[in-house]
Amino acid sequence: MESTRPPAVDDRALLDAWGEGDAGAGEQLFARHFESVVRFFQNKIDRDHDDLIQQTFLGCLEGRARFRGEGSFRAFLFGVAHNVLGKHLRTRYREPLALDFAHVSIAELGDSPSLVVAEDQRQLMMLAALRRIPLDHQVALELHYWEAMTAAEIGESIGVPVGTAKTRLRRAKQLLAAELSDLLAGVSGAEPTETRLDTWAAGIRRGLGEQR
């Protein structure tokens, strides 16, 4: 039997309708992507999540002219979230020029985000290790793990060519494995192979959003 369920309205149409004053369209867009934006900030910021989430969606509304539908909406969304995060950190630490996120990590900034619900010690250590690699690498890797984004989408989100995004992902995995090897030294069966990283990341993702 043919479904009588109306087709889902795409993100671009919802954004356009919201921009024309349809608050309901904005609510639909928010509901559709809220959990993803929560995940973006959850392992990077220890407070002000709600403000940053609101700023992200409002930033999408205000910057909608930049989204012409050539890429995915979520790449545009996370590009806005990435800018919101950078502005927040530079304002918070009063270092508008000195903070180089290609080299500075969340751990070095002293943030201790409230722990995400995790299934075991290895997952908790993976979260800690992600906070110990440079933020630019953490962002790329978490978009890969949490949102299953392609290198092209990640590149669009963080404003780099796809080749650079691929290189950054490879380097991020190397840095993450090195940090995890240090944190999990002596733990049997915890060598951070790529397969294990994928498994641990999947377990972490199940807990993201459960504790805010």
Among 56-65, 87-96, 123-132, 176-185, which is the least confidently predicted range?
Answer: 87-96
Higher-confidence residue of 37 and 1: namely 37
Domains and CATH numbers, the chain: 11-207 (1.10.1740.10)
- Region for residue 143 given its phi and psi (left: phi exceeds 0; alpha: psi -120 to 50; beta: otherwise): alpha
Cβ(189)–Cβ(115) under 8 Å?
A: no
Is 23 a residue whose pLDDT tops 50? yes
> Tens digit of pLDDT for each residue in 178-210?
999 998 887 766 788 888 888 889 888 887 755
59 band by pLDDT with thresholds 50, 70 and 90: very high
Q: What span, in angstroms and rounded, lies between the C-alpha atoms of 159 and 165?
A: 9
Render pLDDT for 71-81 as a digit per residue (tens, 0 to 9): 899 999 999 99
179's enclosing H/E stretch is helix 162-183
| 2-23 average pLDDT score | 78
